[in-house]
A and B are shown apart, each in its own frame.
Chain A
Amino acid sequence: DADVTQTPRNRITKTGKRIMLECSQTKGHDRMYWYRQDPGLGLQLIYYSFDVKDINKGEISDGYSVSRQAQAKFSLSLESAIPNQTALYFCATSGPPSYNEQFFGPGTRLTVL
């Protein structure tokens, strides 16, 4: 089984809808991250969490919110989706012994019509 899982893997929604993307990990890592990937722009950090009580904004947090429900779960929400949030979203984790390596989930492709 995969160490970092994301649900759903693909989602099509309409403008104005609330969407939640979920991430779970079995690696026992304390740090979790959400990234967005757009063609030609690489990955950009949306939010990150170093433990359950710690939430931090990344480069592009506007229009997004997160919840760290447990050490193993980190959800990303789009309160009112808009078409320019159409992208590929990745969750990642890091933890001991090396916080400098991040392990990525399989990605969620979100399309906002």
Chain B
Amino acid sequence: AQTVTQSQPEMSVQEAETVTLSCTYDTSENNYYLFWYKQPPSRQMILVIRQEAYKQQNATENRFSVNFQKAAKSFSLKISDSQLGDTAMYFCAFIPRDDKIIFGKGTRLHILP
């Protein structure tokens, strides 16, 4: 079965610090997509960043970057210069070839003033 594991249920960091959220996945597919979604208290699901498995270069979006290790099936999210507005639930997600997205259970991130 294809699974996504987020090993950190909850994390807290001080504002302006850098934080890394972990994600591992299990699949026998070679081509797939990985995502990080943010869910703030408003509960809206917001796409933060996307990585295509066939691309070796790690994706970046402003303060957000990933460390994609395909052989290790690892896809961590780094948030630099964290801001209070980054406080949210973060979900790692994976879409294999058949297009049904599989979510991890989430990491609740608190940015402390």
Contacts and interface: CB of A to CB of B under 8 A. Distances in A.
Interface of A: 31, 33, 40-45, 48, 58, 88, 90, 92, 94, 99-102, 104, 106-107, 109
B101 A45 contact: yes
Interface string B72-92: 000000000000000000010
A106 B99 CA distance: 21
Contact of A42 (B44, B99, B105): B105
- Secondary structure at the B interface, as helix, strand, loop or mixed, is loop
Contacts, number: 44
Size range of the interface on B?
10 to 19
B44 A102 contact: no
B43 A88 contact: yes
Chain A at the B interface: SS class: strand
B105 A100 contact: no
B51 to A, nearest CB: 11
A74 to B, nearest CB: 15
Given A40-B105, A42-B106, A58 B47 contact: no
B91 to A, nearest CB: 6
Given A88-B43, A107-B44, A102 B100 contact: no
A90 B103 contact: no
B46 to A, nearest CB: 8
B23 to A, nearest CB: 12
Given A90-B45, A107-B44, A43 B95 contact: no
B33 interface: yes
Contacts of A94: 99
Given A90-B45, A94-B99, A106-B43, A41 B105 contact: yes
B44 A58 contact: no
A100 B99 contact: yes
A7 B101 CA distance: 23
Interface in B45-79: 45, 47, 50
Nearest to A38: B105
A104 B44 contact: yes
Contacts of A101: 33, 35, 47, 50
17 contacts: A31-B99, A40-B105, A40-B106, A42-B4, A42-B103, A42-B106, A43-B91, A43-B101, A43-B103, A45-B100, A45-B101, A92-B45, A100-B95, A100-B99, A101-B47, A102-B101, A104-B44
